[in-house]
A = this chain, B = another copy of it.
Amino acid sequence: MKKKTTTLKDVALACGVSSTAVSLVLNHKPSNLSEKTKQLIHDQALALGYRPDPTARSLATKKTNTIGVLIPDISNAFFSEAVRHIQIELSKYGYDMFLCNSEEKYANDLKYLELLISRNVDGLIVTMSAESLTDNHQASIQSMLRDSKIPYVLFDRFYEGDASKVFVDNETSGYELTKHLIDNGHHHIGVITGPLVLNSSRDRLKGVMKALNEAGLHINPEHIVTGFYDMETGRLGGKKLLNQVSAIFAFNDLQAFGVIETAKQKGIRIPEDVSLVGFDDIFYSAILETKLTTVRQPIYEMSQALSNLLMKMVKDINHHEVIRCPAALIVRDSVKNIKS
């Protein structure tokens, strides 16, 4: 009833060679052993069911074959989908994933980052909580990451600086969505944003402004309502904006849902009375009564880029890259052409 773990020495003994030889052969390192011996070693290793102990290997190599992933909320569909792809990609490289949730809390970012670093992960994929992107918190996270000497790439949200990052082209998408509204004759546009500490919200807003400027249009500052990326903010935005504008640009689909709910309560129809666009293209947006026009983030491509980039950085600590991914405009039924 003993734990019968076959060790390197066992294989060496069975083959009548040194354990060094076994190690070299099994790791496919250049060695000057006869083909015959090599084969013998492989055979014996297989026969004995030898499995290198990853712990011992880590101790010797200083590599854990593990990537730490820190995100704000795994129950958010965007992140769960991303995590899914990241895990699949990483496993192709032989890496496992430690997953942590910050619950959008700065304190948790700190705690889990600390944990992952002390675990000696080989790399880090980080989406900070909104809290951590605040001026007074940013620096500590940033220095923690830098001081760890562990390669890391920022995902989706980031601070200014030269860190590697992967994110969607929020500005262009914001521009395109707004232009789509304008092209459909909408001159009075309301906007519901997320937290402006997030680059995603800031950049989307930049895109909105750019499109407006190009068309010689202006936005009433009161028609920009700022909040969080949730339904409640959408409800609030709806209350302020409905009956004031001909089209609403919600910075994510969840907010758009809130607008829809409020509109229904007020007896305002979409898109007959007011047009609406969202951002993210989450599952439910496509099965809504009036399907939502929105933007789809290329989650799979981003996850792949993320993993590839990190793997490069693991190999070459000096590698550095900033990847901006284009998103796709998904035109559905929530915008009405009011031209003429």
Contacts and interface: CB of A to CB of B under 8 A. Distances in A.
A119 B54 contact: yes
Nearest to A99: B99
Contact of A80 (B3, B80, B88, B149): B80
Contacts of A55: 55, 58-59, 64, 120
A128 interface: no
A53 B96 CA distance: 19
A58 B99 CA distance: 20
A118 interface: yes
Contact of A87 (B91, B99, B118): B99
Contacts of A58: 55
28 contacts: A3-B149, A51-B118, A53-B59, A53-B120, A54-B118, A54-B119, A54-B120, A56-B59, A73-B84, A74-B87, A75-B77, A75-B80, A75-B81, A77-B80, A80-B80, A83-B99, A87-B100, A88-B101, A88-B103, A91-B100, A91-B115, A96-B119, A97-B98, A99-B99, A231-B287, A261-B287, A284-B287, A289-B289
Interface of A: 3, 51, 53-56, 58-59, 64, 73-75, 77, 80-81, 83-84, 87-88, 91, 96-101, 103, 112, 115, 118-120, 149, 231, 257, 261, 283-284, 287, 289
Given A75-B84, A96-B100, 20 more contacts: A3-B149, A53-B59, A54-B118, A54-B119, A54-B120, A55-B58, A55-B64, A56-B59, A73-B84, A74-B74, A74-B84, A74-B87, A75-B77, A75-B81, A77-B77, A87-B100, A87-B101, A91-B112, A91-B115, A97-B99
